[in-house]
Amino acid sequence: MDRESLITTLGLLSQGRAQLVSKFTHQDKAIFGDMFRFERSPALMALAVDRFNVSWITHHYELFEKLDESASPEAAAAFKTCVLGLIQRLDQSREGDLSAEWAFVKSMIAEKKMILEAQFDFSNKDDVNYRKLVFAQDRERALFERAFEKAKEKLS
């Protein structure tokens, strides 16, 4: 990889980490809300953590979208590999968990992987792709809410 591509890729990953930390240090309303809402239910808390992780991984694509068109395809390919690496960590984070919640999260992860694999491409970088991703995020939010409701019903 050339030097510029490496700097670009490392920069994107660094921005991703900065955003991750800032969610905690700036008391992000959504995650701190979840921390209190689900404090008595480890299953729901795990689901909230997973939702946060899926959203953090998606944020990487948003960072990529902001890149200048002049960024190299090499940087795009390297960054895509890294984002898929983050997905893989999440996918392997609860090996052996047979719960319905984790099965749901696994399906979301698989879907996210498929969407993101097709997205990191400068030749393909247009509004249609971005809209697809936004739609996927809206759908994801709704499906997570449904999963929360189901898990809550199961617990009550």
Partner 1 sequence: MDKELQALILQCLVEHNTDPATRDKLATSITTRIAGHSKLADMKARLAILFEYEKNYLQLVKEFKEEIKFAGSIQEDLRKERAKFFSDTLKEVSTTLQASQVDPAVAATWLKDLVGSYTKSLDLSSGLIEEQTIDTIGKIRDDARAVVKDVDANAKT
For residues 74 and 54, give the distance between their C-alpha atoms in angstroms, rounded to a whole number: 25
Least distance CB 86 / partner 1 (angstroms): 6
Least distance CB 131 / partner 1 (angstroms): 27
Task: Output 14 or 107, the one with its CB closest to partner 1.
Answer: 14
CB-facing half-sphere around the CA of 4: CA atoms within 13 A: 7
Least distance CB 31 / partner 1 (angstroms): 7
Task: Output 19 or 129, the one with its CB closest to partner 1.
Answer: 19
Which residues of the shown chain bind partner 1 in the complex (CB under 8 A)?
Answer: 1, 3, 6, 9-10, 13-14, 16-17, 20-21, 24-25, 27, 31-32, 35-36, 38-39, 42, 45-46, 49, 52-53, 56, 78, 82, 85-86, 89, 93
Query: In Å, how far are 35, 81, 107, 146 from 13, measured between CA atoms?
Result: 26, 11, 25, 31
**Which ranges of the chain would DSSP assign to H, the alpha helix?**
3-25, 29-37, 42-65, 73-91, 100-119, 127-155
